[in-house]
Structure 1
């Protein structure tokens, strides 16, 4: 893990995944959560073998600490990381909630972001498409998934104890299956309720409109056909609104490198070297 200094003087962490032998410049990676410990990304199914990846540890993550200024403002940190690495224009991979920061950066700094890969993005907020995760989960017929859905759609945590309890119950909603592999992954990457709440502060009311009217950059959206958390219909509408290429991976939840590593590696790898 290494550090760099943001525009406001805050020291942020970043880490590297994969090769150092490639002639390609690194692609930057923004994790989700929000503010979840970045180790949940693992090695992104070995995608770093195709091109070096540099992972931002956003404000509020365990390794950087502090609190987010809100995902709209935190786009500054992504550009500062690119500056630190000597990248004038750069490609970005974002996952889940982290895709909000990526889109904010693309809208605010259109001359800097070159291409985007948005993996199982948080999508319903950007368009009018209704979340269909409840229907996806309902088809599973699994009591653990039903409990997860009840928690996701019920009263939300108000303290850290409730937050950890909810995360444990909601774990099955992140995956197409709930085997030992998924169970183990669901416990990786710590995060705090206060950090999550800070992530959603200070966002301008017209953020979605500014993103949708910003200059387009080539964008790939990768979805899972069993992703309860993001849903499928909202991600399809999101991709269409961004004029993005859409790849929907079969038998896949919110973490495609966990459940469909080969298909994910093929989709992301082609983008990384494209």
Structure 2
């Protein structure tokens, strides 16, 4: 095969949380009606009607804050649906509720003690809300113009036209913003939000005014209203992280990028052995 026949496809993908596909990936809730009665087949749940109803009562107590600081133990024979009910409770509480699933075999490790493994599991299941006020630019994209230099050495520049129901403004774009817009594949008709401090671009969806531009839309396409009021506004953003993620951030020198590296924050056994040998020799 000639060297010219080899093609390299480079793709830029967002780093998202990876969810394992398993026996309980299809569960979306407990499958209860408004009277807390279990449906025969609903939200991926089948059978165990009494247990699902009892779990629904516990869910209402959790939402009302009546069992804060307490734990619930689900007991039963293997294969009776304990993990499925726990997964349904976590899904019913919402995506912000952290849920940590682990098997007994995951506790035994040569590099991590059992106490540390259980401690990490508990801290993965405890979430913290961090509130942040930031200045954002939110509007519907009218037009995106990107000037690409002929030589290729100069930085890209461009202009972005945003509008709301009350105003329309043209912004000059630098190389960093052009790259962010290209990464998100922003086009005319998209409703976006730009964080002024970090320059992060978030695509909120497509405008309802552009809903008939295409005959076929993908399942991930979301239509939203054109924003109202001023383009620049202050907005409170809530970040939900677990205590384990905070531990990983504090244990690594590169900060938040440690969340995507897969490191558990535990010192490896080889490093501990080498440290002990160095200490003994000195």
What range is the shorter-chain TM-score in?
under 0.3
User: Rg: which structure is higher?
Assistant: 2
Between Structure 1 and Structure 2, which shows a larger proportion of strand residues?
Answer: 2
- Return the TM-score normalized by structure 2: 0.24
